Structure 1
């Protein structure tokens, strides 16, 4: 398991990747929005240095967008795909994934609200970092704890 480091160590590179992918995805149109989410998006968050991007599509364009992206990026984790979630990966200076969701969907809100709340609340960020430190060596337990943590953030 890679060691955890402050997101600040990766923030400039994460933004470079974000801007490059925004340019690549510009042909999708202005109604699509590509955001930096995940640990690298929140100063002070602990991360292993991977970059998470979130592509928000108009609800009616989700399936067409996902089909187009199959020709641009590698499909990853197809077992977690749902009617409002698709995941891809790309080759970049840092390991980078893209989650695609329709705007307003449950998955969209999970990606946007949770990271906004963590960025805005130092106590929540400290709790997230503590959870990550305690469980990042046990992938399965970490994923369970992180999911529960994000469920709680989304519910409130």
Structure 2
């Protein structure tokens, strides 16, 4: 994809993501200019469970599957931002992200959020608040999973 096509695709998809909720078009355009395209072949890992925190990604084309202990836990298509929590939390990756088909991603370098905190604190604040909301939703979802697990354990002991 040429640079203009890449930027157009990114600026089309970013406003549809939860990460960019409440972010205006000028901020999105400025952010899009910092991203680079990268392709992965089907079956290729983008990052691995237990790996060091790295870049984040906006999926432009194809499908990604997420696995934990070699078990699929999610699958998604274009327009999804993924891999954000590990670099922000400076934590190891909790899942493996694998190209389920040939994919094209826009790479969000791991230093982007740090640089934004200094260069554009207003945009940084919006993005971090959106990340916090997404993580809160994920924690809430984990509560349901834990509850279901406890019920299964209790049934096994009856």
For normalisation by structure 2, the TM-score amounts to 0.26
Looking at both structures, which has the greater relative contact order when contacts are Cα pairs under 8 Å and sequence separation is at least 6? 2
For normalisation by structure 1, the TM-score amounts to 0.26
